[in-house]
């Protein structure tokens, strides 16, 4: 592992940037208040700053600003209501029910409002029993409001100073994930690899890339400053992101039978050289990502163009030495692999050129696309959308009931005097932090929360009993807060670990000498909340992942069918607009990632709820292959070459009919009978076989061409490869149809 590179990735990422912003927004006023001895009286100020800061999610500036304003209004609403009725138990339970249901249900409008609702419930939990009202309710609200507005001011100032910072960091993160993706794929060229395990790693990484691309699309395509302005920075960022999407499609391609390739070429060192070169390219992609995150221009780490030439030379030498009529098609396959790598190399060089554009001439850069079409869609904010979810058929409604139930149970337990719970709101906050709509995710976060809390509490306890120097403790406090906010999205256990440390330190600053009480309360409350969440998520209207399978399978299959039709129609007629093609590609990749993500979560469900696991896994794997093979076929999309030797109409009918039949079986469509009895459509590609035989005869006659042009691929090699991809697509489509039939038969 390159630790220097990993450190650069971390310190230039949006996560550390956001964490530092929140930490110093909290820390600066806290230090000032502490200096004047009024921190305890004004503790609600930094508390409000931290909660508002946690709702600031990546996105367009206007949406982020409006979300922060809405967050502040929601916080003040629940705080005011809690303050008024804090001494009336009946109204407290009524508040829990109303607020619990409403602020969970607004999650139907997207992840941004789901975060607002969740943090609003956290604020409500803190104030519900009146423990934090150290002053009159109105004075406490005024202090809290001031802290919330302070973060809004910090956000506006920093966003004005650095309008493109977030977009650059998120686009850079896309390149970093693409680098990780390529490193996984490079391992297919090593000997004795577990291909099934590698495919699972590829699919898991596709889920990560899909989620990141969706977030980045919102930032890039819905930020007016980037979309509408022709400034150099906005254009370069836009092109860098679009290039990353095109690069991803090239990395996704999978026209290779890796077992066969190893069987033929393992005795040579060409496959090991391919692996090593792909690792070099991955490092270059990561270098571009780090540069975009930091906003600093960079140059290639190595002369990888020269390394590409050396790889070509190795191939040509092997070809002259070992190619014969029997292995001609194997060498054609190897030539295509190296050609694809050459295209990736060119894309990486193009990305470096975009980043290092002369800013005075970069204004002419244009995408030629209607970018609004690529932005993720979100639910409209209206009561009809919300009311449509008031049903047990809605997973959002079920989640709202579970959240509300957990809050009621947690509150009741916290009020049992016999238990002597000192920080009762910790039970409610922990329940809210752990519980997620999916049981599998909730179960996973429950364990991470427990591990992180116990280890963090032990570490904080040791720190507080061994270190008395206030400045050192302050340094640890700031360091822990930054790391907590940095890890909150991707490394939850570590986030909880550092969160526990800074919570212990903050309470120690306010009430020194009570570390034993804090330690006991934190552990006990976390365990109680974990038990409450486990019981609630498992027995109160749970939503199991298998219930989502059918819908996600349909979406993935339809998206792949549409993607295939678009690509093969373009190869046949050349009249498909680039925008339509890219939209179909986006839909196919997103649908596949959603299906894969659902399957990964299903693995954490109870065994008796893991319905038809093996069949669903087979469907996921075959869907992945179909998407990858179509992506491989699409690489000929923009070549402007004619492949008249291939009967594209015949292949379209043959493969399309298999996919249509699969769709009909999945939908239990009455057209199944008609499709089954439709005449077979066998493509007429006899001319390809004649050309292949002719070339083999030439080789027998010692006519092996030593044309060492890295950019030249014979027309025969291209058309043979296209037919190979189409044959693989047909085989996988048939396999997918059988998998769906098996899936539907088990429902009977």
CATH number reported for the structural domain that contains residue 219 in this entry: 1.20.58
Last residue of some domain: 509, 537, 565?
537
Answer yes or no: is 3 within a domain: no
Say if 50 falls within a structural domain: no
404 and 507 inside one domain: yes
Helix axes 111-127, 61-84, angle to 10 degrees: 30
Chosen domain end from 513, 537, 561? 537
User: 144 vs 254, which has greater pLDDT?
Assistant: 144
Q: CB of 612 within 8 A of CB of 546?
A: yes
Please check whether residue 738 is in contact with residue 628, taking contact to mean a CB–CB distance below 8 angstroms.
no
Mean pLDDT of 106-118: 89
Radius of gyration of the chain measured on its C-alpha atoms:
29
310-319, 541-550, 584-593, range with the lowest pLDDT: 541-550
Domain-terminating residue out of 479, 506, 537: 537
Buried-state track 20-50, b at ≥16 Cβ within 10 A, e below 16 = bbbbbbbbebbeebbeeeebeebbbbbbbbb
Domain of residue 515: give its range. 388-537
Question: Coil, helix or strand for 748?
Answer: coil
The stretch 732-747 carries a mean pLDDT of 85
Compute the average pLDDT of residues 230-252. 81
Confidence (pLDDT) at 520: 84
Residue 157 lies in a domain: no
Residue pLDDT, tens place only, 487-532:
988 889 999 999 999 889 888 887 777 788 888 888 888 899 999 9
Check if the beta carbon of residue 646 is closer than 8 Å to that of residue 719: yes
pLDDT score, position 361: 46
Pair 399, 107: CB distance under 8 Å: yes
Separation of alpha carbons 561 and 658, rounded Å: 10
Q: How many CB atoms lie within 10 A of CB 426?
A: 23
pLDDT band at 151 (very low <50, low <70, confident <90, very high): very high
Handedness of CA 309, 314, 320, 322 (dihedral sign): negative
CA dist 11 to 19, 175, 451, Å?
Answer: 11, 16, 26
Distance between CA 293 and CA 13 in Å, rounded? 6
Say which range, 243-257, 293-307, 561-575, has the weakest mean pLDDT.
243-257
Domains of the chain: total? 3
Q: Do 409 and 359 belong together in one domain?
A: no
Given a cut of 50, is residue 737 above it in pLDDT? yes
Within a domain: residue 343? yes
Lowest mean per-residue pLDDT among 192-196, 361-365, 555-559: 361-365
Residue 369 pLDDT more than 70?
no
Residue 357 vs residue 462, higher pLDDT: 462
- pLDDT tens by residue, 61-91: 888 999 999 999 999 999 999 999 988 888 9
Q: Is 375's pLDDT higher than 50? A: yes
The alpha carbon of 387 is separated from its chain's Cα centroid by a whole number of angstroms, namely 30
Place of tokens 């686009």: 171
- In DSSP notation, 327-389 reads GHHHHHHHHHHHHHHHHHHHHHHHHHHHHT--TTTGGG----S-GGGGSPP-----HHHHHTT
354 is a domain residue: yes
Instruction: Check whether residue 631 and residue 566 sit in a common domain.
Output: yes
Per-residue pLDDT, averaged over 622-631, amounts to 89
Provide the pLDDT confidence category of residue 362 given band limits of 50, 70 and 90: very low
What is the pLDDT, as a whole number, of residue 544? 81
Q: Are residues 245 and 314 in the same domain?
A: yes
Residues 419, 326, single domain; the answer is no
Measured over all CA atoms, what is the biggest interatomic distance in the chain, rounded to whole angstroms?
A: 99
- Do 175 and 305 reside in the same domain of the chain? yes
What token pair was written down for 395?
């997973």
The verdict on 296 and 435 lying in the same domain is: no
- Angle (CA) 432-435-439 rounded to 5° is 170
Statement to judge: residues 202 and 230 lie in one domain: yes
Torsion of CA 485, 487, 490, 496, to 10 degrees: -90
Residue 540 has pLDDT above 80, yes or no: yes
Apex CA 365: angle with CA 362 and CA 371, to 5°?
A: 135
Q: Per the domain annotation, does 513 fall within a domain?
A: yes
Could you tell me the end-to-end alpha-carbon distance of the chain, in angstroms, rounded to an integer?
51
pTM more than 0.85: no
The percent of residues above 90 in pLDDT, for the chain, comes to 31
Q: What is the mean pLDDT of the chain?
A: 84
Question: Residues 560, 644: one domain?
Answer: yes
Distance CA 115, CA 21 (A): 19
* CB 83 within 8 Å of CB 137: yes
Q: Is there a domain that residue 378 lies in?
A: no
Above 80 in pLDDT, residue 485? yes
| Res 255: pLDDT | 52
| Cβ partners under 8 Å of residue 468, min gap 6 | none
Q: How far apart are CA 730 and CA 532, in angstroms?
A: 50
Residues 354, 412 within the same domain: no
Does some domain include residue 382?
no
What whole-number percentage of the chain has pLDDT above 70? 89
pLDDT at residue 364, as a whole number: 45
* Residues contacting residue 454 through CB under 8 Å, at least 6 positions apart: 523, 526
Residue with tokens 């092996």: 704
| Alpha carbon 464 to chain centroid, angstroms | 38
- Pairwise pLDDT comparison (152 vs 586), residue with the higher score: 152
Burial (0-12, 13-18, 19+ Cβ within 10 Å), 614: exposed
**Class of residue 379 by CB neighbours under 10 A (exposed 0-12, middle 13-18, buried 19+):** exposed
DSSP tag of 683? -
Q: Count Cβ neighbours within 10 Å for each residue of 73-86 and write b for 16 or more, e otherwise.
A: ebbbebbebbbebb
d(CA 537, CA 605): 11
pLDDT (0 to 100) of residue 276: 94
Please tell me what DSSP assigns to residue 679.
P
Residue 679 has pLDDT above 90, yes or no: no
- Closest by CA to 557, choosing from 623, 625, 476, is 623
526 and 621 in a single domain? The answer is: no
According to the model, what pLDDT value does residue 441 have? 83
Q: Which residues of 441-463 are buried (b: 16+ CB within 10 A; e: fewer)?
A: bbbbbbebbbebbbbbbebbbeb
Q: Does residue 609 sit in the same domain as residue 702? A: yes
């Amino acid at each position: 592992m390159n630790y220097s590179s990993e450190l650069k990735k971390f310190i230039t990422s949006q996560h550390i940037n956001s964490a530092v912003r929140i930490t110093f927004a909290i820390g600066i006023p806290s230090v000032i208040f502490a200096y004047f001895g009024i921190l305890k009286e004004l503790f609600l100020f930094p508390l409000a700053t931290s909660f508002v800061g946690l709702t600031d999610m990546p996105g367009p500036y206007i949406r982020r600003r409006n979300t922060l304003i809405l967050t502040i209004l929601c916080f003040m609403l629940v705080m005011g209501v809690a303050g008024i009725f804090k001494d009336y138990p009946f109204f407290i339970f009524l508040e829990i029910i109303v607020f619990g249901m409403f602020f969970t249900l607004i999650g139907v409008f997207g992840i941004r409002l789901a975060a607002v609702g969740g943090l609003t419930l956290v604020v409500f939990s803190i104030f519900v029993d009146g423990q934090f009202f150290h002053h009159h309710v109105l004075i406490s609200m005024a202090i809290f409001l001031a802290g919330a507005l302070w973060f809004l001011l910090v956000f506006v100032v920093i966003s004005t100073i650095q309008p493109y910072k977030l977009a650059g960091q998120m686009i850079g993160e896309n390149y970093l994930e693409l680098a990780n993706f390529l490193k996984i794929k490079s391992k297919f060229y090593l000997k004795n690899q577990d291909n099934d395990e590698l495919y699972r790693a590829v699919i898991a990484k596709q889920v990560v890339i899909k989620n990141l691309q969706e977030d980045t699309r919102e930032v890039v395509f819905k930020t007016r400053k980037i979309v509408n302005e022709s400034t150099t920075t906005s254009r370069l960022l836009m092109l860098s992101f679009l290039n990353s999407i095109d690069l991803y499609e090239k990395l996704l391609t999978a026209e290779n039978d890796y077992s066969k390739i190893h069987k033929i070429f393992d005795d040579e060192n060409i496959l090991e050289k391919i692996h090593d070169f792909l690792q070099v390219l991955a490092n270059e992609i990561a270098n571009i990502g780090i540069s975009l995150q930091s906003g600093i221009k960079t140059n290639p780490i190595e002369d990888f163009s020269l390394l590409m030439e050396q790889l070509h030379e190795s191939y040509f030498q092997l070809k002259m030495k070992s190619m014969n009529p029997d292995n001609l098609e194997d060498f054609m396959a190897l030539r295509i692999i190296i050609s694809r790598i050459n295209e990736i190399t060119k894309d990486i060089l193009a990305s470096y050129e975009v980043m290092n554009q002369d800013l005075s001439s970069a204004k002419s850069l244009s995408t030629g696309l209607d970018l609004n079409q690529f932005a993720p869609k979100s639910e409209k904010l209206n009561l009809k959308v919300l009311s449509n979810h008031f049903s047990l058929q809605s997973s959002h409604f079920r989640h709202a009931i579970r959240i509300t139930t957990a809050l009621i149970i947690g509150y009741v337990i916290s009020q049992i005097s016999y238990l002597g719970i000192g920080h009762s709101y910790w039970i409610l906050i922990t329940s809210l932090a752990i519980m997620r709509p999916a049981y599998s995710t909730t179960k996973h976060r429950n364990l991470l929360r427990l591990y992180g809390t116990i280890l963090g509490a032990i570490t904080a306890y040791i720190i507080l009993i061994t270190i008395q120097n206030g400045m050192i403790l302050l340094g640890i406090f700031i360091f822990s807060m930054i790391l907590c906010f940095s890890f909150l999205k991707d490394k939850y256990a570590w986030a909880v670990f550092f969160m526990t440390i800074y919570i212990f330190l903050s309470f120690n600053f306010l009430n020194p000498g009570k570390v034993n009480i804090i330690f006991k309360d934190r552990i006990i409350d976390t365990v109680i909340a974990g038990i409450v969440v486990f019981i609630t998520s498992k027995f109160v209207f749970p939503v199991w992942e298998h219930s989502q399978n059918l819908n996600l399978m349909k979406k993935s299959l339809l998206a792949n069918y549409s993607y295939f039709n678009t690509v093969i129609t373009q190869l046949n007629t050349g009249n498909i607009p680039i925008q339509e093609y890219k939209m179909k590609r986006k839909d196919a990749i997103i649908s596949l990632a959603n299906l894969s993500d659902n399957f990964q979560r299903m693995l954490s469900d109870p065994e008796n709820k893991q319905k038809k696991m093996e069949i669903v896994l087979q469907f996921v794997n075959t869907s992945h292959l179909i998407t990858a093979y179509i992506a491989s076929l699409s690489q000929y999309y923009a070549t402007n070459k004619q492949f008249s030797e291939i009967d594209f109409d015949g292949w379209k009918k043959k493969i399309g009919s298999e996919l249509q039949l699969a769709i009909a079986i999945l939908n239990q469509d009455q057209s199944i009978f008609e499709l089954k009895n439709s005449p077979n459509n066998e493509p007429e590609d006899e001319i390809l076989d004649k050309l292949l035989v002719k070339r083999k005869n030439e080789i027998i006659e010692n006519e092996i061409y030593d044309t060492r042009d890295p950019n030249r691929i014979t027309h025969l090699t291209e058309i043979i490869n296209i037919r190979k991809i189409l044959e693989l697509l047909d085989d996988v489509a048939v396999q997918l149809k059988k998998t769906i039939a098996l899936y539907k038969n088990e429902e009977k």
